C-alpha cells in the first residue's frame, strides 16, 4: 500500500491547458474518483500518474519514491482500460499471466497467482478460453484480474465500465470496490458516471477545466457543494438552479416564491428530492403554482418535470409517498410547488460560490 501525491501538475496540448496546477493527495489504501465533464482533464491526470503522459510542470510521488520521470514499467502501477486491451492470441490464463511472465516470475508462482486472481473475480472456469469467446463483462473481469495479479502500489481505472450494459456496470463496480477494499490497494478511478462515482469513492474529486472544483467524501459534495458548478454536476437528476432576488425572507425568481434567509441577488440550488409537490384541488385549468409537463416512473420513484413561471423544475418523488394521487400525476395537472425547509443551497450570483448562513461568500475574507 502507498500514498500517492500529485503536486502542481500542469499539462498543455496545442497551447490549451488541460490540467492546470493540480495537486492531489491519495491516502494509503483509498479509492479516489475523478469526475467532471468531457475535456476537464480527468483522463489526462490519470495518464500522468501512470507515466503514459509526461507533465509539463509538477511532480508525482508513489510511496516514498519520486516517479515523475520514471517510465510506466518502473512505477509499480496497474491499469484497467475502457476497451479491455486483451491479447486476442492468448488464453484468459495467458492474459492474466502476461505481466508476471514479463517480469520474470517463476512458472509455478505465476500459475498460483493467476489462479488466485481468477478466483477473486469469478472467472476460473474461463481460463482456457480466448477473449473472442467471452462477453464484454467477462473480458473486463480478465482485465481486472491481470491488474490484480501484480499487487501493484497504485491501481488505475480509466472508465472501465463504460462499454458495459447497465446491469453489468452495477455488478462490476461493486466487485471493483470489494476487491480494492479487500486488498487495500490505493486506487485512482476515472468515470463520467456520477452514480458510479458516488457509490464507490472514498474521496470524490470534481474537475472543471483542469482544476479541482471540490474534493471530499461523496456525501460532502452532495450535501454542501462549494459552487453552482458542483451543485449542477453532482447528482442525478441534477440540482435545480434558479437565479433571482432574496429579501425579507422570500426568494423570488420569475414566478417562483420560496422562503430563504438569504439577501440580495443570489442563485438558489434545490435538489430534486427536496422539491415538494402536492395536487391542487379543482380542475386542471385552475389553481396551483405549477403544471406537470413530464412524468417518468423509475421503479421506486417518480421523476417529474414541472413548469413554474419561467422555470422548468425537476422533482423526485418516492412512489410510496404519492400513492394517494398517482392517478392525477400526469402531464397538464396543476400542482403546488414547495421546497423542503432548510434544504436549499444559496450561491452568489456573480461568482457562483456558496453563501454561508451569515450571507458571506465562502472562501473570501
Residues 219 and 243 in one domain: no
Residues 202 and 248 in one domain: no
Contacts 24+ apart (CB under 8 A), 108-114: 113/149, 114/145, 114/149
Strand partners, 258: 251
Residues 206 and 245 in one domain: no
**Does residue 135 fall inside a structural domain?**
yes
- Whole-Å CA distances, 17 to 208, 300, 302: 12, 43, 41
86 touches 141 (CB < 8 A) = no
**Does residue 233 fall inside a structural domain?**
no
Segment 200-226 shows an average pLDDT of: 96
Q: In what order do the strands lie in the sheet with 264-270?
A: 256-259, 250-253, 240-247, 264-270, 344-348
Boundary of a domain, candidates 176, 199, 223: 223
Cell 472543471 -> residue: 208
Domain range for 318 is 238-348
- Whole-Å CA distances, 297 to 88, 205, 288, 305: 42, 31, 22, 12
Helix/strand/coil (H/E/C) assignment for every residue in 126-171? HCCCCHHHCCHHHHHHHHHHHHHCCCCCEEEEECCCCCCCHHHHHH
Indicate the pTM of the whole model.
0.89
Q: What pLDDT was estimated at residue 134?
A: 93
How many independent structural domains does the chain possess? 2
Grid cell locating 152: 501493484
Residues 201 and 285 in one domain: no
Percent residues over pLDDT 70 in the chain: 95
| Angle formed at CA 186 by CA 120 and CA 161, multiple of 5 degrees | 60
Summarize pLDDT for 64-119 with one digit per residue, the tens.
999 999 999 899 999 998 888 899 999 999 999 999 988 888 999 999 999 999 99
Q: How confident is the model at residue 364 (pLDDT cuts 50, 70, 90)?
A: low
Q: How confident is the model at residue 365 (pLDDT cuts 50, 70, 90)?
A: very low
Summarize pLDDT for 319-360 with one digit per residue, the tens.
877 666 656 778 888 899 999 988 999 999 999 999 987 678
Give the containing element (helix H, strand E) for 120: helix 107-121
**Does residue 294 fall inside a structural domain?**
yes
Radius of gyration of the chain (CA): 25
Spatial CA neighbour of 357 closest among 262, 268, 270: 262
Summarize pLDDT for 171-200 with one digit per residue, the tens.
889 988 998 998 899 999 999 888 899 999
Summarize pLDDT for 50-70 with one digit per residue, the tens.
999 999 999 999 999 999 999
Boundary of a domain, candidates 195, 223, 251: 223
Residues 209 and 293 in one domain: no
Task: Determine the Cα–Cα distance for residues 116 and 123; give it in Å rounded to an integer.
Answer: 10
Amino acid at each position: 500500500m502507498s500514498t500517492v501525491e500529485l503536486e502542481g501538475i500542469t499539462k498543455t496540448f496545442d497551447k490549451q491547458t488541460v490540467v492546470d496546477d493540480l495537486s492531489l493527495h491519495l491516502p494509503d489504501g483509498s479509492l479516489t474518483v475523478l469526475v467532471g465533464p468531457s475535456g476537464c482533464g480527468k483522463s489526462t491526470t490519470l495518464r500522468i500518474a501512470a507515466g503514459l503522459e509526461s507533465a509539463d510542470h509538477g511532480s508525482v510521488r508513489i510511496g516514498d519514491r519520486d516517479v515523475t520521470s520514471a517510465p510506466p514499467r518502473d512505477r509499480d502501477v496497474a491499469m484497467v482500460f475502457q476497451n479491455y486491451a486483451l491479447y486476442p492470441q492468448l488464453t484468459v490464463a495467458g492474459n492474466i499471466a502476461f505481466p508476471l511472465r514479463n517480469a520474470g516470475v517463476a512458472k509455478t508462482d505465476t500459475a498460483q497467482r493467476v489462479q488466485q486472481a481468477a478466483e477473486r473475480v469469478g472467472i476460473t472456469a474461463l481460463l482456457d478460453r480466448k477473449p473472442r469467446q467471452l462477453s464484454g463483462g467477462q473480458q473486463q473481469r480478465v482485465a481486472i484480474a491481470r491488474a490484480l495479479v501484480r499487487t501493484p502500489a497504485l491501481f488505475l481505472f480509466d472508465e472501465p465500465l463504460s462499454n458495459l450494459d447497465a446491469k453489468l456496470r452495477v455488478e462490476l463496480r461493486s466487485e471493483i470496490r470489494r476487491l480494492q477494499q479487500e486488498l487495500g490497494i490505493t486506487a485512482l478511478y476515472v468515470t463520467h458516471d456520477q452514480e458510479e462515482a458516488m457509490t464507490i469513492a472514498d474521496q470524490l474529486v470534481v474537475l472543471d477545466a483542469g482544476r479541482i472544483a471540490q474534493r471530499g467524501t461523496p456525501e460532502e459534495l452532495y450535501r454542501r457543494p462549494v459552487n453552482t458548478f458542483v451543485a449542477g454536476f453532482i447528482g442525478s437528476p441534477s440540482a435545480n438552479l434558479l437565479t433571482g432576488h432574496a429579501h425579507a425572507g422570500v426568494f423570488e425568481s420569475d414566478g417562483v416564491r420560496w422562503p430563504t434567509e438569504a439577501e440580495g441577488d443570489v442563485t438558489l440550488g434545490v435538489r430534486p428530492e427536496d422539491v415538494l409537490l402536492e395536487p391542487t384541488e379543482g380542475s386542471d385549468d385552475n389553481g396551483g403554482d405549477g403544471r406537470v409537463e413530464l412524468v417518468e416512473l423509475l421503479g421506486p420513484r417518480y421523476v417529474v418535470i414541472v413548469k413554474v413561471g419561467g422555470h422548468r423544475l425537476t422533482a423526485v418523488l418516492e412512489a410510496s409517498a404519492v400513492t394517494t394521487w398517482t392517478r392525477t400525476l400526469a402531464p397538464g395537472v396543476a400542482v403546488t410547488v414547495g421546497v423542503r425547509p432548510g434544504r436549499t443551497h444559496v450561491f452568489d450570483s456573480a461568482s457562483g460560490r456558496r453563501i454561508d448562513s451569515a450571507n458571506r461568500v465562502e472562501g473570501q475574507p
